[in-house]
């Protein structure tokens, strides 16, 4: 079996609780959603079998790996890859849109799940370490509260939408204030795409 990939690269995590963490990002091709503001290219650039992919990751010399996309949970064989990496001592994270519940064996291999549910998309994921909601057009406080009620997490973030020529920070801050007026615990926090602000690839 071969994995459909767009790219594999080392950088600093730019969002959420792990901001600044050096990570190997394994960007899988394909997504089960088509968000109109999405700026990510997840077309197929390469196909590697498990041994080839493990070698590519090992050559980068970093022991933290994040599966991303697109939507990594639509990738066949992800559990086997995660288990192989875990056996080699890697810290493993995943970034998912929340439309798929990972199987138990995959959850057991993952150290961190970050989910970014999308407006009008089915929300299936029930537990994560952090929730990041992009404040795109149509996102309301009620929708954010509904996501929070469905997904149990330790951290909840709002991320400004990168649309209309730049990060839309003010609408995110205003929504943050509305949500935190209810004094939820933990509070909602702002998560900027710091890698873009700092010019980090």
The residues spanned by each domain of the chain are 2-197
Separation of alpha carbons 132 and 49, rounded Å: 31
- Asked: is 2-197 a CATH 3.40.50.300 domain? The reply is no
Give me the pLDDT at residue 76, please: 95
Per cent of the chain over pLDDT 90 is 80
Q: What is the pLDDT of residues 120-152, one digit of tens each?
A: 899 999 999 999 999 988 999 999 999 999 999
Does position 116 have pLDDT exceeding 60, yes or no? yes
Quote the pLDDT of residue 196. Answer: 58
User: b/e string for 49-72 if b means 16 or more Cβ within 10 A?
Assistant: eeeebbeebeeeeeebbbbbbbbb
Dump pLDDT digits (tens) for 32-47: 988 877 777 778 999 9
**How confident is the model at residue 155, as a pLDDT?**
98
Residues recognised as catalytic: 25, 31, 35, 38-40, 95, 195
Residue 197's pLDDT band, with cuts at 50, 70 and 90, is: low
Tens of pLDDT along 145-181? Answer: 999 999 999 999 999 987 666 678 888 999 999 999 9
| Sign of the CA dihedral running 161, 192, 132, 84 | positive
**Structure letter (DSSP) for residue 36:** T
Angle between helices 78-87 and 50-59 (to 10 degrees): 40
DSSP summary character for residue 74: G
Question: Over the stretch 56-113, which tens digit does the pLDDT of each residue have?
Answer: 999 999 999 999 999 999 999 999 999 999 999 999 999 999 999 999 999 999 999 9
Check residue 201 and give its pLDDT. Answer: 60
């Amino acid at each position: 079996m071969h994995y459909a990939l767009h790219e594999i690269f080392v950088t600093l995590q730019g969002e959420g609780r792990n901001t600044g963490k050096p990570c190997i990002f394994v960007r899988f091709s394909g997504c089960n959603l088509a968000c109109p503001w999405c700026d990510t290219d997840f077309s197929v650039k390469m196909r590697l079998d498990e041994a080839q992919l493990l070698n590519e990751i090992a050559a980068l010399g970093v022991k933290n790996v994040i599966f991303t996309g697109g939507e990594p949970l639509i990738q066949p064989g992800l559990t086997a890859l995660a288990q192989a990496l875990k056996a080699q001592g890697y810290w493993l994270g995943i970034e998912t849109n929340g439309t798929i519940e990972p199987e138990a064996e995959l959850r057991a291999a993952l150290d961190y799940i970050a989910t970014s549910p999308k407006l009008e998309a089915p929300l299936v994921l029930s537990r994560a370490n952090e929730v990041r909601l992009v404040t795109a057009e149509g996102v309301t406080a009620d929708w954010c509260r509904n996501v929070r009620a469905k997904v149990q997490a330790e951290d909840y973030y709002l991320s400004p939408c990168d649309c209309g020529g730049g990060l839309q920070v003010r609408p995110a801050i205003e929504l943050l204030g509305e949500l935190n007026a209810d004094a939820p615990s933990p509070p909602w926090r702002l998560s900027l795409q710091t890698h873009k602000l700092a010019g980090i690839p």
